[in-house]
Every structure is written in C-alpha cells, then in structure tokens.
Amino acid sequence: MTNTMDKDVEDIIPNSSELEEVYSDAHFTEGPTVAPDNTVYFSDITFTHQADMQAGHIMRFHPETGETSVFRSPSGMSNGMKFDAQGRLVVAEGADFGGRRITRTNMNTGKSDIIAGLYEGKPFNSPNDLTIDENGRIYFTDPRYVGYEPVEQPVMGVYRIDPNGSVHLVIADSGKPNGIAVSPDQKTLYVGSNDSGSLREMPEDIPTYTGRMALLAYDLKTDGTATYRETLVDYAPEHGPDGFEVDVEGNLYVAVRDKTRFGICIYSPNGKELAYIPTPELPTNVAFGRSELSKVLYITAGGSLFRILVGKDGYHLPQK
C-alpha cells in the first residue's frame, strides 16, 4: 500500500507496512486525535444537505478491541481536534448549524467550556483545525467551505487563544487556511492554504476561480506571533492540502487532495517529499498514536478511519 520515492527513506514508511481500514460507517471523517490512553477520537462531519440534517458526531475508536462508538452527538459540527497537555479535548466546531467556536472538554467529568466564541464581538467563520504549542497556546484556522450562516469576519485567518483566554488574530495572509501544526522545536507554524474560491459548496457545473493552494511555513516567535517565511509546497493548479501532523524529527505528514493522486505525502521540514501513502478515498487529516503505538499513523479519508505503521514516532505535547 505504500510508495516510497527511494529505498533510503524506508525508515519513514517501511515497505512492509500496509494500510488498514478500521472503521467505514461515517459520512465524512475528519480531525483524528489520540488521547493519552491511546483511544482515537475523530469527527464525523454530516453535511446537513447530504446527510438528512444529522447534527455531526464525535466518534471514539478503541485500538485494543477494534470497536468504534459515538462519543458525543451533536458534535457542534466538530472538525479538527487535539488533546492538550492536561488531557482535555479541544475541538474546532464549524458552521453548517455548528457551534462556530472552540470548546474544551474535561474528559473526567464530561463538562465542556467555550474558550473562543467571538472575535471583536462577531462569530467566527467556521473553525476548521487547531494545534497547541508547549506554552498552552491554541492556534486555529477559520475558513468557510460550507454552511448557511453569514460570514462575519473580514478575513479567513489564523487565531491564537492564550492561556488567559484572550483571542488574537495572528495570520491574515495565508489565503484560506485549513490544516495547521507547530514544529517540535516550537519555531515554525505550518499552515495549509486550500482556497476553493467560494464560501459554500457550489454546483459542479458552476466553475470557481481557486486561490492559493500551498503548504506555508511561518516563523513562530516566543510571544506567539507568526511571520510568513516561505512556501514549502505549491500545489496549484491542483487543490491544496487538508490536515497534517509532524513526527519527532519535524517531518510533515500531509493529507494531499490532488485529484491526480490523493493520499498522505511526507515532507522534510524544508518541503522535500520523502514518501507517499496512497489512500483509497480522499484524505482529510492524520494523527499519531502514543507511547507503544507512537509509530501508528491514523488517517481519516472519505467515510473511513485507517491506520498504518510508520518508521518515526509522532510528536505530542508533553503531558502535565
């Protein structure tokens, strides 16, 4: 199932690795994340115009038993999710009758807090994906791809939530931001731009002018501000990347939506392609397991959840 570019990079994706489907009964999977106990949580985004007004679900997969169940429904149209250093589940809730906010759930009590619901008194467009740095600051992207709600933010930007609860717009020049990740050394903020050219799903017979389609690198300063540094990968005229994660060496595992070959592309920190994992369905995001499963890469694609053994340990926030 794997396709490496060179035998020298077999340590990235061993040639013996096989892609395994572990769940296939979702509408549209996204946002996988792995809890400290190695349970896998992922979003089932039930686009209301396609799924008979289902309200979105957060699913939970148990690697030991292979069983998948509903963790929470409605999900607020959850998309990207991450566990923070305290083991709390942080969720980007999107539009299309969703929450359009960032929530944080205490996994011991089940209670959730809204940690970002407005910016300058107006709702977000549609929080899509998020990442957390080692200072506890949360960075999230806010594009709009689907939904009937008005678009009230003047830019599709990247925001930062500080531990004191304050919310800051930190990037406004990334095009239409989607995936996001912090490098292990905390010096780079990676942002994927996937500018579909519209604010909602359009009929196939109506062409749109797509914008920036690229994987971007920003210098991340110690105060949490970010400055554009370079374009690592330019995907135009194909679609740009969706979600991605990093391993402990800083390599990026990116869900690529190029219709000529879709799958997970693995890049070095400077954007060199190292390996490629084809997926049978359009990929959306990835997540690494933890501890003894830290070389397991989970992939959401189409209506399914997959996993594959890779050669590098995934990067995770140190737990407190």
Compute the residue count for the chain: 320
Q: Does residue 4 have a pLDDT over 50?
A: no
Backbone angles phi, psi at 26, to 5 degrees: -100, 170
Average pLDDT over every residue of 219-226: 98
pLDDT for 6 equals 56
pLDDT for 2 equals 46
pLDDT for 8 equals 53
Among candidate residues 259, 260, 261, 267, the one with its CA nearest the CA of residue 286: 267
Of the chain, the percentage scoring pLDDT greater than 90 comes to 86
pLDDT for 5 equals 46
Asked if 307 contacts 294 with a C-beta cutoff of 8 angstroms, the reply is no
**pTM (two decimals):** 0.95
Cα torsion at 192, 115, 133, 122 (round to 10°)?
40
User: Residue 303 to residues 26, 41, 111: CA-CA distances in angstroms?
Assistant: 5, 14, 28
Q: How confident is the model over 63-75, as pLDDT tens digits?
A: 999 999 999 999 9
pLDDT classification of 34: cutoffs 50, 70, 90: very high
Q: Does residue 210 have a pLDDT over 70?
A: yes
136 or 11, greater pLDDT: 136
pLDDT for 7 equals 52
Spatial neighbors of 57 by CB under 8 A, at least 6 apart, are 26, 43, 44, 46, 70, 71, 72, 73, 74, 75
Q: How confident is the model over 12-32, as pLDDT tens digits?
A: 999 889 999 999 999 999 999
pLDDT for 200 equals 73
pLDDT for 62 equals 98
pLDDT for 81 equals 98
pLDDT for 207 equals 80
Q: How confident is the model over 38-48, as pLDDT tens digits?
A: 999 999 999 99
What's the gap between Cα 310 and its chain centre?
A: 19
pLDDT classification of 205: cutoffs 50, 70, 90: confident
Average pLDDT over every residue of 109-134: 98
What stretch of H or E contains 215?
strand 213-220
Average pLDDT over every residue of 188-200: 90
Q: Does residue 313 have a pLDDT over 80?
A: yes
Q: In a 3-state reduction of DSSP, which class is residue 293?
A: helix
Q: How confident is the model over 235-274, as pLDDT tens digits?
A: 999 888 999 999 999 999 999 988 788 999 999 999 999 9
Q: Does residue 1 have a pLDDT over 70?
A: no
Q: Does residue 213 have a pLDDT over 70?
A: yes
